[in-house]
Amino acid sequence: MQVKLETGPVSEANSDALVVLGFEGAPPQGPAAGQIKEFYDSGEFSGKALEIAVLHHPTGLNAKRLVLAGGGKRDKFTAAELRKLSGAVVRSLKSKGIHGIALALDEPFRSDDFAAAAVEGAVLADLENDRYKTDPKKNEKHVDSLTVLGGSQAAIERGRILAEAQNFSRDIANEPANVLTPTVLAGHAKKMASEFGLECEILDQDRMRQLGMGALLGVAQGSAEPPALIVLRYKPAVASSSNDHLGLVGKGVTFDTGGISIKPSDGMEKMRYDMAGGAAVIGAMRAIAQLKPSIPVTALVPTVENMPGSKAQRPGDIVTSLSGKTVEVLNTDAEGRLILIDALTYAKRLGCTHLVDAATLTGAIVVALGSVNIGAFTNDEAFLEKFLVASKAEGEKTWQMPMDDEYKELLKSNFADLHNIGGRSGGSITAAWFIRDFVDDTPWIHLDIAGTAWLDDAKPYMAKGATGVGLRTFVRLAETW
């Protein structure tokens, strides 16, 4: 999608459709105000959130159509709401064969945050998960151009960069597991790094064995597909005055059968998205490379396939992690935490001073928070507060979960330093505690995105499938460090 900024009068915008915001209550003023008022008076449009109405042949406008886009209550309208609304408009209009859209932002919605959000929503909404469909007309169902009336060029460009990076992540996470193996995921990361000027290192199985990554390799041993540890490095052009170094770690299980502790067959096909955290981290680095924050950022993605082969890890096996601590594996379906602990330990060895990991880790977080909020866990309240400010600004809802010491007691093992599950109760919390035991005092945030990384049904503003959740917050965290 081509995205551009225009600063001329709204009435002169030349497009297939001119979109104006309408809120509950009084109709918006400006060109075609009389016709808009008729829509309000008749009840065809009331301004409710995500409501859309199309007025053909509007008076006083160059545009062929005037589209009213409902923002709900004006005093509660945020950049996050505009992101959704812009997406809903694009998905609605492209289904009608409209390829060129102009979006008018009136005061007080002409700030950079609103302009960037408008672009993000539109670009995200244009992605369709139809790569493997043979419909010859599928390429016609896209918007070719978006013109934003309001904001700055820098904001428009930032929105485009973020949305394209998020779509890159979504595309990867939507790939079927027969196409996207750990080796292929590493290839995507390497190609992206070369294109955007990042350093990339891929640790293979032999190198991980030399280092002693027994937890990661234990998960991978049941699959014919070799594992990899992807390392992406961004270094600012001017060295930072502080020693802070942000580490982003994303779970990269390209398919999760559960291993010997095999999952139920119902819904297992979705386990291709078990690398959504890794995809979000790789996509975040794509945006970071272009937006160039002042802090160095290193991303690590441990990527494996968890299969119940003849060499698969067994319940009761004991592995030695990179940190030297031992783990009794009671459940092979609690594999994500095992690959994360070796990646986090390695991130510390690479000099990362602050760590954020993202993983589709537990079904328990879905029970607790549904598909609305990311579950966040931390050992450093100040660091989490900084993260929450970034997540709120980006409209990625995040809820802090407890980390009381009593939960750690559930991980005690009779045969090793700890075991990898803590029982049915508080499953997302004990999973976080397991990971926390390996980061020691390093400021750390764990994000359980199991409920937010995938849409089971299409939304008005986004297609069914991977969401790319977390990416925008990672980027803003780095930008505002």
Q: Which two tokens stand for residue 6?
A: 């225009």
Which of 174, 196, 198 minimizes the C-alpha distance to 185? 174
CA gap 383, 390 in Å, rounded: 11
**Token output for 476:** 């803003």
Q: Tokens 């609103």 map to which residue? A: 114
263 has catalytic annotation: yes
d(CA 107, CA 151): 10
Pairwise CA distance, residues 48 & 9, whole Å? 26
**Beta 100-104 vs 145-149: how paired, if at all?**
parallel
Both tokens of residue 349?
Answer: 């060895």
Annotation marks residue 337 as catalytic: yes
Question: What is the rounded distance in angstroms from the CA atom of residue 436 to the CA atom of residue 363?
Answer: 19
Q: How far apart are CA 150 and CA 388, in angstroms?
A: 28
- Give how far Cα 186 sits from Cα of 181, 254, 277, 435, 471, Å: 9, 11, 14, 24, 18
> Rounded to an integer, what distance in angstroms lies between the CA atom of residue 38 and that of residue 358?
49
Query: What separation, in Å, do the N-terminal and C-terminal C-alpha atoms of the chain show?
Result: 31
Residues 253/336, Cβ–Cβ less than 8 Å: yes
Q: How far is the C-alpha of 164 from the C-alpha of 1, rounded, in Å?
A: 10
Q: How many CB atoms lie within 10 A of CB 60?
A: 13
Beta-bridge partners for 198: none
Catalytic-labelled residue, pool 37, 141, 233, 263: 263
Identity of residue 35: Q
Inter-axis angle of helices 471-479 and 153-174, nearest 10: 140
CA 411/CA 314 separation, integer angstroms:
18
- Closest to 71 (Cα-Cα) out of 59, 54, 86: 86
- Say which of 84, 170, 337, 472 is annotated catalytic: 337
3-state DSSP helix/strand/coil percent for the chain, to nearest 5? 40, 20, 40
Number of H helices, E strands in the chain: 14, 20
Residues annotated catalytic, as ranges: 263, 337
